[in-house]
Amino acid sequence: MVVRIDLTDTEELKLTYQRLIEKRDLIQKSRPLPALALHKIKESLNLEWTYNSNSIEGNSLTLRETKVILEDGMTIHGKTLREHFEAHNHAKAIDFLYTLVKKNHKLKAGDILSLHKIVLNSIEDHFAGQLRNSGVRISGANFVPPNALKLPDLLDQLINYVQQNPDGLNTIELATVFHHQFVHIHPFLDGNGRTVRLAMNLLLISEGFPPAIILKNDRKKYYDALNQANNGRYNKLLLLMCQALERTLNIYINALPGSADDYLPIANLLEEAQMPYGKEYISLLARQGKIDAYKEGKNWLTSKVAIDNYMLNRKRVRN
């Protein structure tokens, strides 16, 4: 491994893991979901995944423009050819990823190289699917990636770590550590971010979770969390991963027949439910991962049940 790993889970993180696993199991028990609803959810999430992952790396296409390119086969005036290829390639990479998904699938170096080759197809063909052969520096990062000569061994070590899981990490922790260690190795000259967010989700989806989609609006928080992980502090990256998973899990749960939880923007919820809490307080709980909440754009959504459960658990701890 490249850097030391400190996974000192807070009590809130442990409760969050438990909640996310319970949600995953609920979805699994409810299968088969209505075919039309399942298709629409997967189609929508794949579009968001492509849009947000590309946007984090600087692609200027909007969500609607990405949808038009992928679904209508149109080109967008004023957007570069590269940006169009990035949209098409990422969508194709997701399709390829799902062909790999099966129970107990073991991530292989070949999977990563194949995903990278698709991501950079017709963009950087001369090093698509190839490990970098020179040094790189990452703007804004607090580390310098290792020498290119070390990459084959480092990537093999990372794959072996994921396959063997010697520290007994749960699926969410393992995917998070893999994500950071991959970024730290930085095995490619270009396309590392898109590729790692695909490979990370291969680990999650293979274990029954939906994809964790890091949102464009969380770009700064995401990079700050990666920089903290470079110093062995993983809590912020774990929290961000959990919040991304919570969002997609809730999207599936809301589609289940008889789903009772109504997730609303915090301001709307407090007004509708006439709850005796301030917006800033509940927003802070959401940002800290202390309540069941997820983000849509810049707004946090939660439910009355989530707030009530947190307050009840807080009273139990005090007593």
As a whole number of angstroms, the longest Cα–Cα distance in the chain is: 64
pLDDT at 60: 98
Q: Rounded CA gap, 117 and 191, in Å?
A: 9
Q: What is the pTM of this model?
A: 0.90
Of 298 and 291, more confident:
291
Beta carbons of 56 and 214 less than 8 angstroms apart: yes
On the question of pLDDT at 129 being above 60, the answer is yes
Of 275 and 26, more confident:
26
Beta carbons of 76 and 63 less than 8 angstroms apart: no
H helices of the chain, in order, are 11-29, 35-56, 63-67, 81-100, 109-119, 151-164, 171-185, 192-206, 219-229, 235-253, 266-273, 279-287, 304-318
pLDDT at 258: 65
Question: Known catalytic residue: 126?
Answer: no
For the chain, give every domain's residue range.
11-253, 264-318
pLDDT at 103: 64
The gap from C-alpha 88 to its chain's centroid, in whole angstroms, comes to 20
For domain 11-253, give its CATH number from 3.30.930.10, 1.10.3720.10, 1.10.3290.10, 3.90.1640.10.
1.10.3290.10
pLDDT at 242: 95
Average pLDDT, integer, range 227-241 = 92
Written as six digits, the tokens of 56 are: 């984090």
On the question of pLDDT at 8 being above 70, the answer is no
